[in-house]
A and B are shown apart, each in its own frame.
Chain A
Amino acid sequence: MLAAKSLTIPGRLTDVSAALAPGAVTAIVGPNGAGKSTLLAAFAGLISGPVALDGTPLAALSPQQRAQTIGFLPQDGEVAWNLSVETLARLGRLPHKTSRAEDDAATAAALSALDLERFASRSVGTLSGGERARALLARVLAGTPRWILADEPLAALDLAHQQALLRQFRLLAGQGTGIALVLHDLAQARNHADRVIVLQDGRVAAEGPPHEALTEEVILKVWGVAARWTGPETARALSLDRT
């Protein structure tokens, strides 16, 4: 478990208690400014606070141990230098003091998992948005973390790439990886997450399985929008009233 207990970060989060489970996809949702990215960064150990990994405070781990265990994909997707896709993915091996052969194998596996082998020697600057998003995720996968925390990984991706990435996250969860995604699309959270944490003004407004945490009442209370869930249980759509 990766758990925050009464996490308070002045001006951003107030008394937030929430946990991520291994083998599950957890969606973190909420209006703009609700503290989603801050909570994710706290789970990643980038903001100090009472967050514990299987009972051990994150602060008690060395930066290297933490980096080996928790993979973090920021929203901005910055790559300062025009690296090749392979070199970019290999940066994920930085926390590991392993042999060259192990690094090679992990990097190749990450590229293969995201169907990027034929892009391996292409430079990042020449990729399309979807290819770039996959290359950045390959960097995280190459580090073989037990936890993957991604900040709006689906933003700016077309439908096919969104689906491909969501399948990848599901596959990783099936292998035991704990996944947390900051999402804006509530239908994605409802259909693809195992648990949802709803934040409002830095506090947890609702938490639980999607059908319990993301009810029409919660959406009205948190977003101030009257919306209705429609469609079958595995492919819910959120309809907004015109008025």
Chain B
Amino acid sequence: MTIDSLDNDNIILATGGYDHTIKLWQTHTGICTRTLQHAESQVNALEITPDRQHLAAASYQHIYMYDLTSNNPNAIVNYEGTSKNVTCVGFQEDGKWMYSGGEDSRARIWDLRSRNNQCPKIFEVQSPINCVALHPNQVELFVGDQNGIIYRWDLRTDNNEQLIPENDAMILDVEISPDSQLMASVNNKGRCYIWSLISGVIDTPTKMIPKQKFEAHTRHTLKCKFSPDSNLLATTSADTTARIWSADHFTLLQELKQTESQRWVWDTAFSADGQYIFTASSDGNARLWNVKTGVMEREYAGHQKAVTSLAFRDAS
């Protein structure tokens, strides 16, 4: 790879938060290249479509879709019909459908292939949904809610199975490792729970076997994310740090801390090779860290208020 070919063109880093804007960044310089307007509410979650053409922003009562290929600062599609905050959003790997979870206690499947959502699917739970994760087999969704229950929702059969890792604790995030071997979940007490997953053949559901539990942080653990090679797990927390754990024994490898200004760390994303990691914090900055050394490499400043979500897509 020559230096000439090293530009930012195919790398997408988007951040959003409470200042009603979404910013796109040039990763190596820290320059904000575009600002998208998200006037009606804060940004709860961001996700880039598999084809890299669009950016979905989960917000209050809506999911807005932005065009990443044009210069239009306004959303081009508005998915509406949810009554409360949409807390998470994600895509099927071919972009056939989109899933979302919200504070209206419903997880939804939005059909993206047809122009008008022909085939919606809905899954209702007892309390507001904080997080939804899609199993790499593309047919099982794991939904975490404020009652502390994780639901395994089979999209083909609509069957579900419940897990309660800890009483009186909210599930704040749930994540499946890309190699489908592990599931991680974090709660508002700072604990992280790990399950081994045994994938079923054809129609048998995935089995979840409790593997480990550890104190990831002393306060709310807000997000957990596996590295693309499934060897690392990153957790972010209200204790103003993000931590990186080895995914085999869950020992602490690195603490990402910037003592001067960093506040709650809300979201995180690994580079495709797992060498670098982005974090988003309430102090209005996103940061890039070297995973091996724990050194902060770049800072992305420009948001007026807390940055609560980021979406990143690396190129290879």
Decide whether A and B assemble into one complex: no
Interface residues of B (CB under 8 A from A): none
